[in-house]
Amino acid sequence: MSSNRSIIPICAGLALLIGWAVAPLDQSIAERLGQNSEVETLRNLDSQFGQGLSVAILGGYRSVAANLVWLAMNQNWEQRDLVGTLGKLAFATSIDPRPELFWLNGSRIIANDMPTWVIGIDNTDLHVESAERRAIASQFANRALGFLEGSRVYHEQNPKIYIEEAMILWRKANDLEGAVGRFEQAIRAESPPFYVYRVYGELLVKLDRKEKALKLLETHYETLSEDSIEAMKPVVADRIRNLRRELGH
């Protein structure tokens, strides 16, 4: 109980410090969005509000402070406040870039939610109906990718980051070649999830690279355990059979 009480004034002080730092950050975001490209904006934010602040002032409470900023960001998100949400996403990840959740959920907010805020709709899939909406979707896809670039130092071998980038490139930016490159990086990273091979294989089939998809799935199949439900070995086997049939093997 005493330890819980002792951290309350620390959290209160951190909240005050964060409030002091976030106000100019939001203003900086608003100004930079009007001057620079989206990728430049998100890439350069931590030079003004980032590791220097967290190391020099927050010390061992970086994680607590980052989570407080993240919680504050949720209010901006609920209000569809683009500037406030972007600012706090950048600030939280600058304070503590270690949590995977910050990067993955942050990129999804940018790529999926923000285009609908600009367009003024609720359905995240409807923005593909017109050239204007596709342009907006592409713009925010690039912002999300720029945001994820900041994760490299702590997540260079994290396959989930590459998968997220691949899906943004595929589904939001319609850059299938770029998505192929990210999937390649994902399967070379540490302990890639089973599903990435199946999704990657489907993209290769979509690009009419069925021979490469077949080779990928055959190699992957040999590594799968019969006892793993997540591996879905029978599903992979079925896909291999279908591809062999389509290719006349």
Can you list the domains of the chain with their CATH numbers? 1-95 (no CATH), 97-192 (1.25.40), 193-249 (no CATH)
CA–CA distance, 88 with 22 (Å, rounded to integer): 7
CA–CA distance, 206 with 184 (Å, rounded to integer): 16
- Which amino acid appears at position 27 of this protein? Q
**Vertex 35 angle, CA 149 and 77, to 5°:** 60
CA–CA distance, 143 with 117 (Å, rounded to integer): 15
Report the pLDDT value the prediction gives residue 38, as an integer from 0 to 100: 46
Answering whether pTM is above 0.85, one says no
pLDDT digits 0-9 by tens, 114-147: 999 998 876 655 545 678 888 899 999 999 999 9
Average pLDDT over residues 159-172: 97
Confidence grade of residue 85 (pLDDT, cut at 50, 70, 90): very high
What percentage of the chain carries pLDDT values higher than 70?
Answer: 73
